[in-house]
Chain A
């Protein structure tokens, strides 16, 4: 079976007893504690909570960007704690996409090259055509040769969306994707994100402190002081 495809019928993401603490002077600062979570393939989960509640930390742990202090995370059935940094990188390369609040485009690459990079990493067949296709999907087909500094915030985040969806990841992690944008641009970017997720059938884990954005997700995970305070599921979810 192809590695890039779903390999098991296990949950897309599963974590048990997840915790993260950091040394802070002579004390230990607990950021996250006892998080148990199962996210099925295709789900849209919004992680919500006030500043400092551990939202971004949880996202980093689920995506294999960071290591938990306790507990375990399984992504597509693979226990992340058993993988070294290189294996984690390969897993992210093949299965995971990211969208960040501060866009995180590589400043020295054009918009098209930013989109091409993950495709080239995976040896994607027809990478250039695919990059053009997703840039067209986010409405930036004509701006591919521009550098990030030459694009507006909204445009940069649309390039980030194109980069994230280009290799067709199974899971997309989005950390406050509209946090750096004005409300109108933010709404347009959010619609684009949710629409693309729907079309690509991608599992989306979205961190936000905006209740209106969270409301558009089928499931809301409320964090408070590093713990899951509430795990809410609604009947319907926004599809774009």
Chain B
């Protein structure tokens, strides 16, 4: 048969029934729209989140160090298009004037940020007045945080002194994009130009200055591209160990973890959408071929080989798939716009991320591939149609050749595995997903077989004629019960697992930031001031008030060995040296906060010795284990502490946490101050507190972390919303496809309905009879499919999202009932026409 003849046959086959063609194309379009839509939404969300996380870094890439940045940096970027801004951060004392020895001027510890270039590349530096920018900074002006102005009792336009030079406060710093690392914050912010810094005496050789180079790179680099660049840069540096390279994807940990989870989730959504589309296609082709069995028999009789007929129908599927893909592609590509209109906050940065041509092309290709792959198993029916069926309708079906019987499902499995691998980029995940699907399909097959065999062998007379006939209909030859239950069950698995995962993930995102996370930190509260400060906080309705003593100390020896000796082994690595020799903050407490968990040893368990508890990573960096002896120099006094426990700390809790916690009583009498944290609402209460502290406790510095919290909360909220939007969309399309799949099966029942009516059964009777059948199929598919969904959701949440699954077992009965109702409603809706038609019309064809 020439290709021209095949093409002609394909085109002729397309005329089979315009209505059915529309229905098939529509179902395919929904599947492809789901794939393209989710893929576009995913890409748009990723682009938007990338942009958000870039805001948190104010750049694509940041290189920072505690000393001058290496010269190789410039050489490395010379051949790469980029923009660079240098930022230096250092602590300084801001005062109202020079003062005198007897009467020093009022002063505050501040954190200077010296900008040399464009800032920020991404995000917004919010200043008052609003029309100001970094470019407006002169050699004698600064922008200062409002809490500093409040603390010093000055206003915009007034003067303050920094490093021996006077500066006019030109504006207030309301918010800056990349100030998330509040643990390292020393004091209120001051922005200054490089020329301004040059006027001061602050920048001397020994100053502890943090140097940063912010880079903006062209072409919207992805996470992978940035990682590659980071690796190349690290390799190009002579001594990379003292340089820290950050990409925007490593921004704040809450956001980073959320992004990681969402990335996995989005991959799963796209994969499950594909699966849904495939199930829809498979059911459509199955129903279509069942209706064409007569034509297939005639064609075989006329001498067409089974493979030629299969190629003809496959060609037809391809034609429909192309139509459906284009239609669905257009719909799917428009989806982000629809979501944007419905929820404008989801995609920050306007419409630039909404058009995703890559997703459209990928969706079209995947849609076509899935349509063809999933049509293979039902297409094997062509081999089973005997040519003798032209003589006798009940002719015994032929067996398809082994290559066809095993080849089609194998090709499908390989296709699913490849798709899973493309999405997850992990062989184990792809194999587990494919294997799990295979097991579920086998369970559904077993369940369906058991159902048909049970319904065929039930005793007569117990349930009444309609129920009995409905049950028997499940077991009749050619009923397609098994295929329908497998498809429906897989669909239920997809929809229910999406629902479970989406709910749990959204909950995790919502609670990632504790509702009472502290909004202010108070530094340098003296022991005799604590009660007063605490009362001030309580008077303003502060929640989660926490105040811990802090004793500054240096590590002198580990297991009796001088840390200078140990550090000398790391001479080439300044960062490692620093971790041994830097000043450490010690605290004491009876019980650990809830966000700490002992992983080794036991807290305050040795009455013979003075104990210390270490954070796990910190202990590892010092090479210290439970039982080791640490010697500290506490303001000139040597204190021996034995490590009796190692603990993990959830740094995302925003609470006050320490690497070193000492047993209560050991440090009594040591000079210390208190570090306090509290949640104050509304925001104005923070300013009131600031005023009161300035008046009553002028030495206490208040740091506001509300802007940071709000920034993180904003990103998390948008991610959570995106998760909900995508989950809901997939679930909705899943339900439509499932209803369509049941509907296509129901279309085949027209003749049966006509016959039953001709035999005198009323429409209500036929409806009841069909309803029993659909309800039972839906029940079995729902129960097994939702059990599979529990397993998939559990595996995803536990191993990929690293969340406690907490899945409700009642999901199974609820899903079984809902699936049963859905199958009944969609089956009966699709049978409406057949139920309404006069029997003779249908029987005459």
The residues of A with any CB-CB pair to B shorter than 8 Å are: 22, 56-57, 59-60, 65-66, 85-86, 88-94, 96, 98, 100, 104-109, 113, 117-118, 120-123, 163, 175
Given known A65-B301, A86-B306, A98-B390, contact A123–B15 (CB-CB < 8 A): no
B306 touches A104 (CB 8 A): no
Q: Quick one: closest A residue to B400, CB to CB? A: A85
Given A59-B391, A65-B387, A120-B1, 7 extra CB contacts under 8 A:
A60-B388, A66-B387, A66-B388, A98-B301, A106-B298, A117-B302, A121-B1
Given known A65-B387, A65-B391, contact A86–B307 (CB-CB < 8 A): yes
- Return B381 CB to nearest CB of chain A, in Å: 14
Contact of A56 among B13, B303, B392, B398 (CB under 8 A): B392
With a CB–CB cut-off of 8 A, which chain A residues contact B460?
A: none
- Return B699 CB to nearest CB of chain A, in Å: 91
- Bound together, the chains give a CA A222 to CA B2 distance in angstroms of 43
A104 touches B303 (CB 8 A): no
A104 touches B390 (CB 8 A): yes
Contact of A65 among B13, B294, B307, B390 (CB under 8 A): B390
With a CB–CB cut-off of 8 A, which chain A residues contact B303?
A: 89-94, 96, 118, 121-122
The residues of B with any CB-CB pair to A shorter than 8 Å are: 1-2, 5, 8-9, 12-13, 15-17, 294-295, 298-307, 383, 386-388, 390-392, 395-396, 398
With a CB–CB cut-off of 8 A, which chain B residues contact A92?
A: 301-303, 387
With a CB–CB cut-off of 8 A, which chain B residues contact A120?
A: 1-2, 5, 8-9
With a CB–CB cut-off of 8 A, which chain B residues contact A59?
A: 391
- Bound together, the chains give a CA A91 to CA B305 distance in angstroms of 11
- Bound together, the chains give a CA A93 to CA B301 distance in angstroms of 8
- Return B155 CB to nearest CB of chain A, in Å: 85
- Return A70 CB to nearest CB of chain B, in Å: 16
Given known A65-B301, A86-B307, contact A56–B391 (CB-CB < 8 A): yes
- Bound together, the chains give a CA A17 to CA B2 distance in angstroms of 39
- Return B750 CB to nearest CB of chain A, in Å: 15
- Bound together, the chains give a CA A88 to CA B299 distance in angstroms of 13
- Return A54 CB to nearest CB of chain B, in Å: 11
- Return A21 CB to nearest CB of chain B, in Å: 11
With a CB–CB cut-off of 8 A, which chain B residues contact A86?
A: 305-307
A104 touches B298 (CB 8 A): yes
Given known A22-B396, A60-B391, contact A106–B306 (CB-CB < 8 A): no
Q: Quick one: closest B residue to A66, CB to CB? A: B388
With a CB–CB cut-off of 8 A, which chain A residues contact B395?
A: 66
Interface residues of A, dominant DSSP: helix
Most buried by A among B299, B302, B306, B398: B302
- Return B475 CB to nearest CB of chain A, in Å: 15
Between A and B, 25 residue pairs with Cβ closer than 8 Å are: A60-B388, A60-B391, A65-B301, A65-B390, A65-B391, A66-B388, A85-B305, A89-B303, A92-B301, A93-B302, A93-B303, A98-B301, A100-B390, A106-B299, A107-B295, A108-B16, A108-B17, A117-B299, A118-B302, A120-B1, A120-B5, A121-B1, A121-B302, A123-B1, A123-B2
With a CB–CB cut-off of 8 A, which chain A residues contact B302?
A: 92-93, 98, 117-118, 121, 163
Contact of A89 among B2, B8, B304 (CB under 8 A): B304
- Bound together, the chains give a CA A205 to CA B388 distance in angstroms of 16
User: Top 6 closest A-B pairs, CB basis?
Assistant: A93-B303, A120-B5, A66-B388, A108-B16, A92-B303, A65-B388
- Return A145 CB to nearest CB of chain B, in Å: 12
Q: Quick one: closest A residue to B297, CB to CB? A: A104
Given known A66-B386, A86-B306, A109-B12, contact A104–B301 (CB-CB < 8 A): yes
Q: Quick one: closest A residue to B309, CB to CB? A: A89
B295 touches A106 (CB 8 A): yes
With a CB–CB cut-off of 8 A, which chain B residues contact A22?
A: 396
- Return B339 CB to nearest CB of chain A, in Å: 41
With a CB–CB cut-off of 8 A, which chain A residues contact B307?
A: 86
Q: Quick one: closest A residue to B13, CB to CB? A: A108
B305 touches A90 (CB 8 A): yes
With a CB–CB cut-off of 8 A, which chain B residues contact A107?
A: 16, 295
Q: Quick one: closest B residue to A103, CB to CB? A: B298
With a CB–CB cut-off of 8 A, which chain B residues contact A109?
A: 12
Given known A104-B298, A107-B16, A109-B12, contact A121–B304 (CB-CB < 8 A): yes
Q: Quick one: closest B residue to A176, CB to CB? A: B391
A108 touches B2 (CB 8 A): no
- Bound together, the chains give a CA A180 to CA B479 distance in angstroms of 29
A85 touches B392 (CB 8 A): no
A89 touches B300 (CB 8 A): yes
- Bound together, the chains give a CA A115 to CA B348 distance in angstroms of 63
With a CB–CB cut-off of 8 A, which chain B residues contact A88?
A: 387
Contact of B5 among A100, A106, A121 (CB under 8 A): A121
With a CB–CB cut-off of 8 A, which chain B residues contact A56?
A: 391-392
- Bound together, the chains give a CA A105 to CA B298 distance in angstroms of 8
With a CB–CB cut-off of 8 A, which chain A residues contact B300?
A: 89
Q: Quick one: closest A residue to B306, CB to CB? A: A85
Q: Quick one: closest B residue to A102, CB to CB? A: B390
- Bound together, the chains give a CA A96 to CA B306 distance in angstroms of 17
- Return A35 CB to nearest CB of chain B, in Å: 16
With a CB–CB cut-off of 8 A, which chain A residues contact B295?
A: 106-108
Most buried by A among B13, B17, B298, B386: B298
With a CB–CB cut-off of 8 A, which chain A residues contact B392?
A: 56-57, 60
- Bound together, the chains give a CA A88 to CA B386 distance in angstroms of 12
Most buried by B among A56, A66, A86: A66
Given known A65-B387, A65-B391, A121-B5, contact A108–B298 (CB-CB < 8 A): no
With a CB–CB cut-off of 8 A, which chain B residues contact A91?
A: 303
Given known A85-B306, A86-B307, contact A113–B12 (CB-CB < 8 A): yes
With a CB–CB cut-off of 8 A, which chain B residues contact A98?
A: 301-302, 390
Most buried by A among B8, B13, B390: B390
Q: Quick one: closest B residue to A64, CB to CB? A: B387
- Return B834 CB to nearest CB of chain A, in Å: 18
- Bound together, the chains give a CA A175 to CA B1 distance in angstroms of 27
- Return B353 CB to nearest CB of chain A, in Å: 46
- Return A169 CB to nearest CB of chain B, in Å: 10
B2 touches A85 (CB 8 A): no
B391 touches A175 (CB 8 A): yes
With a CB–CB cut-off of 8 A, which chain B residues contact A85?
A: 305-306, 383, 398
Q: Quick one: closest B residue to A164, CB to CB? A: B302
With a CB–CB cut-off of 8 A, which chain B residues contact A93?
A: 302-304
- Bound together, the chains give a CA A123 to CA B15 distance in angstroms of 23
Q: Quick one: closest B residue to A88, CB to CB? A: B387
With a CB–CB cut-off of 8 A, which chain B residues contact A94?
A: 303
- Return A187 CB to nearest CB of chain B, in Å: 24
- Return B5 CB to nearest CB of chain A, in Å: 4
